[in-house]
């Protein structure tokens, strides 16, 4: 990896950390860059998950105000996300690399569509929402609790296998089940994404050290650490259209690279 390539990876980590804190889908920035500097898809995914953890942490801390009063809900959903992350990491490490390379273009395409249509989803959720504050978890019935748990497990599995747009999926699914504001949903998303990526990263370190490009992971980590803080502090002021357009363009680039490599 040349000096300029190292700079590009670090800057991609910075952008991804910022985007993850605000809207999710930062992987659609780092993943194409890691592919472009020569990493195989599975190695890029594993190294990227490891590198994004510091940014997830600073992003979650930055949204701590929106987490007030939601401790019980987060503690209810976190075990499901962690279990899903272990499932996704297991699938990534045990399915053939050829299977991942065949599936991941479709996953990237799904992520791009979700990011592109997020404003429509947000407006639809806002119309059907009857309140603006979080409901205490003891008022959530057994059926809704089961649906929330299942949603957390499903998005955790997706995130453990391929992290792109797991946050968009989380906000979409939880928004259907909870009368929270979008900022509160984003805060929950940041904590659950931190749990998913951290558990997946620890799994990779323990059982798949040979698939980690430590230099790439370190560069992404350094960038995402700062990016998560910047995103949670200033990212809300950036035009969402600019971020969304950049993510969609990079996602299309990733699909082209994966299909033609």
What local confidence, expressed as pLDDT, does residue 137 receive? 41
- Stretch among 69-73, 215-219, 252-256 having the lowest mean pLDDT: 252-256
Residue 48 has pLDDT above 60, yes or no: yes
Name the more confident of 204 and 182: 204
CA 122 to chain centre: 18
User: Tokens in use for 173?
Assistant: 């699914």
Domain span holding position 84? 3-260
- Judged against a pLDDT cut of 70, whether residue 148 lies above it is answered with yes
pTM to 2 decimal places: 0.77
Helices 3-22 and 214-234 sit at what angle, rounded to 10 degrees?
40
Give the integer Cα–Cα distance in Å for 155 and 25: 13
Give the model's confidence band at 67: pLDDT under 50 very low, under 70 low, under 90 confident, else very high. Answer: confident
Cβ pair 180, 170 in contact under 8 A: no
Mean pLDDT of 38-53: 90
**Average pLDDT, rounded, for the chain:** 81
Q: Which helix (H) or strand (E) holds 47?
A: helix 41-62
pLDDT tens string 217-236: 999 999 999 999 998 887 66
pLDDT band at 79 (very low <50, low <70, confident <90, very high): very high
Give pLDDT, residue 259.
75
For every residue of 207-234, DSSP letters joined together read H-GGG--HHHHHHHHHHHHHHHHHHHHH
Separation of alpha carbons 122 and 17, rounded Å = 22
Phi, psi at residue 40, to the nearest 5°? Answer: -65, 155
28-44 pLDDT, tens digit per residue, is: 889 889 999 999 888 99
How many folded domains does the chain comprise?
Answer: 1
């Amino acid at each position: 990896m040349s000096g300029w390539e190292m700079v590009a990876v670090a800057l991609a980590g910075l952008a991804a950390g910022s985007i993850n804190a605000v809207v999710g889908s930062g992987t659609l920035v780092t993943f194409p860059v890691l592919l472009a500097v020569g990493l195989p898809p599975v190695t890029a995914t594993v190294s990227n998950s490891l590198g994004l953890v510091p940014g997830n942490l600073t992003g979650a801390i930055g949204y701590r105000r929106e987490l007030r009063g939601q401790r019980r809900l987060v503690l209810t959903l976190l075990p499901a996300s962690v279990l899903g992350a272990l499932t996704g990491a297991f699938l990534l490490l045990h399915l053939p690399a050829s299977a991942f390379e065949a599936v991941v273009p479709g996953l990237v395409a799904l992520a791009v569509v979700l990011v592109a249509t997020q404003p429509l989803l947000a407006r639809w959720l806002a119309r059907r929402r009857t309140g603006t504050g979080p409901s205490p978890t003891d008022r959530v019935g057994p059926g809704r609790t089961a649906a929330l748990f299942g949603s957390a497990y499903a998005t955790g599995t997706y995130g453990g296998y391929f992290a792109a747009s797991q946050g968009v999926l989380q906000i979409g699914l939880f928004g259907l089940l909870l009368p929270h504001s979008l900022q509160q949903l984003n805060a929950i998303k940041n904590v659950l994404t931190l749990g998913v990526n951290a558990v997946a990263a620890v799994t990779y370190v323990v059982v798949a050290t040979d698939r980690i490009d430590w230099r790439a992971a370190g560069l992404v980590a350094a960038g995402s650490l700062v990016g998560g803080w910047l995103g949670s502090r200033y990212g809300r002021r950036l035009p969402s259209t600019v971020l969304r357009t950049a993510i969609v363009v990079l996602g299309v680039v990733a699909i082209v690279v994966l299909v033609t490599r």
